[in-house]
Amino acid sequence: MCNIAGYVGTKDAAPILIEMLKRQEGLAGGFYTGIATICDGKLYYAKLTGDTERLVSFTNASKLPGNIGIIHSRSNSGGGDEWSHPFVGMKNNEPSLAYVANGIAGGFDKSNHNEIIAMLIGKGYDMNAHLTNVQKGKYMDLPDGTSVHMSDVMCQLIKYYEDELGDTSRAMTEAFGTIPAEIVGLCISLADSQNIYWSRINRPMMAGFASHGAYLATSALAFPDDASEPFALPANSSGCIGKDQLKITPYSKAPGVVVPMDMALRAKAFDIVKKKLSDGGSYTFKQLKNEIMHLFSGDGSYQDALLIYEILYALYKSDLLSIKKRNVPGAIDTLEAPSFLMSLKN
């Protein structure tokens, strides 16, 4: 799991994004962090190993210019600075597209991965996040024997389709159909600096609006106080969000089934989580998610993470949720990462 946020509007994006990420990174991130913005026809980005505080301390992340941007914090799943998000697509040797994602490969067919990588490399869409010290078979392999992050491949594939189709939303749809996974992704591009593009199969992504712009985040807990009532972006869809508009296009051919959630399932899950939090203990997001997994059945991709985030936000809005931060070992020996513990207020 990872945590993502986006902002587009009339205010400086970087400070808003940083604060949004701080409010959620301890749920499922904090080990690798990065940000991207667009201003005056240029794409700016910064990323490293570590949490948001380290990103701000060791890069110019808080000073990146522009009123549109995306930010990401990743779980402890291997790699170094180059495997932090965002991943970047190039045009004329300059960064022109940035992509962040949350998800896993899941049970989708992976037999075409090597073919896709070879096609992208052959057409000049190079993947830069090469590593040799990762578990073979867990990540995609390049012809030279190194491994590449799936999201780097997806970024280059989106850029390829954008160049071919001239439409960033269609590019994300085509890429998610070509390499489907249990993911959600956000993209900003010099092709359109007024909108954040998104595509979602099953991983969580919430949206909300304010008078000055639009917010996106993995969890509505990240939203500033001026955000409108949050809502989940639909599964198996792509679209874009601007400072005062949202466009949604369902996939014409969904790559897989996403198991729906009805009110009965939501009510059962809420009761389970609230009862667990009422026992006096403190629990991580992952521990709470594990408590409700038995409620899901059927073939397809589940929306268990989205459901837990909905429940936590409902408890927070009712002033029942207590969130405490602790530090856990980071991605490397010299670092720590934030981890949130949830409980009910006394």
What integer pLDDT is reported at residue 142 of this predicted model? 72
What integer pLDDT is reported at residue 135 of this predicted model? 52
Tokens for 254, please give them: 């969904």
Q: Which residues of 20-29 are buried (b: 16+ CB within 10 A; e: fewer)?
A: bbbbbbbbbb
Decide if 101 contacts 151 (C-beta within 8 A).
yes
How big is the CA angle at 197 (ends 191 and 200), to the nearest 5 degrees?
A: 150
Distance CA 341, CA 242 (A): 34
What integer pLDDT is reported at residue 165 of this predicted model? 97
Decide if 31 contacts 78 (C-beta within 8 A).
no
What integer pLDDT is reported at residue 106 of this predicted model? 82
Q: Domains (ranges, CATH) in the chain?
A: 2-110+151-250 (3.60.20.10), 263-344 (1.10.10.10)
Q: Model confidence over 317-331: pLDDT tens digits?
A: 999 999 999 999 999
Amino acid at 299: D
pLDDT along the chain (346 residues), means of 10: 95 98 97 97 97 97 98 90 93 93 87 88 82 57 77 96 97 96 97 97 98 98 97 98 97 94 97 96 97 94 97 97 97 95 94
* Segments in the chain forming alpha helices (H): 13-22, 25-28, 52-58, 113-122, 150-165, 168-178, 263-277, 285-292, 304-317
Neighbour tally for 109: CB within 10 Å:
10
What integer pLDDT is reported at residue 111 of this predicted model? 83
Q: Report the predicted TM-score, pTM, of the whole model to 2 decimal places.
A: 0.96
Q: Collapsing DSSP states into helix, strand and coil, what is residue 33?
A: strand
Distance CA 138, CA 127 (A): 17
What integer pLDDT is reported at residue 53 of this predicted model? 97
What integer pLDDT is reported at residue 85 of this predicted model? 96
Phi, psi for 307 (deg, rounded to 5):
-65, -45
What integer pLDDT is reported at residue 240 of this predicted model? 98
Residue with tokens 């679209």: 239
Distance CA 30, CA 47 (A): 12
Cis peptide bond upstream of 329, omega within 30: no
Decide if 168 contacts 247 (C-beta within 8 A).
no
